[in-house]
Structure 1
Amino acid sequence: MTAPAERMKMMRQRRRARGLRELRLVVADARSRAVRRRVAKQVASLDPDRERDALEWIESVSEFDADATR
């Protein structure tokens, strides 16, 4: 059997041959208390009026996009 590193290399080559590329994402761990505290602090500091305006704009644009694809 081939070594794990060689198997991974072969798998990546097969994927590239199919037009695929590996993508790695590193995201904050929502299970972490520190992360949850940091997010809560950031959310608490948001201006509700500005956030409402932003959400209304996003909704209007998404409705526009949905109509354009029909």
Structure 2
Amino acid sequence: MSLSADVSRRLRALAARAGLRPGHVLAQLADRVDIDDGMVSVERFVPQPPHAGCSCLGEKPGTG
């Protein structure tokens, strides 16, 4: 799947403001998806930096 140029720019800008990589923002978004009767929704949230040692940073626990 590829994102449109506009969506990709907005995602990169959001990630930069949050100090994250775009993939981290998408992972947090995916964690919050709710599917009910075929309808997809996500409550508003503020992307959070991953904690030290989090596997989503590509680090081994205890090394970050």
User: Normalization by structure 2: what TM-score?
Assistant: 0.30
Higher share in helix = 1
User: Highest CA radius of gyration, 1 or 2?
Assistant: 1
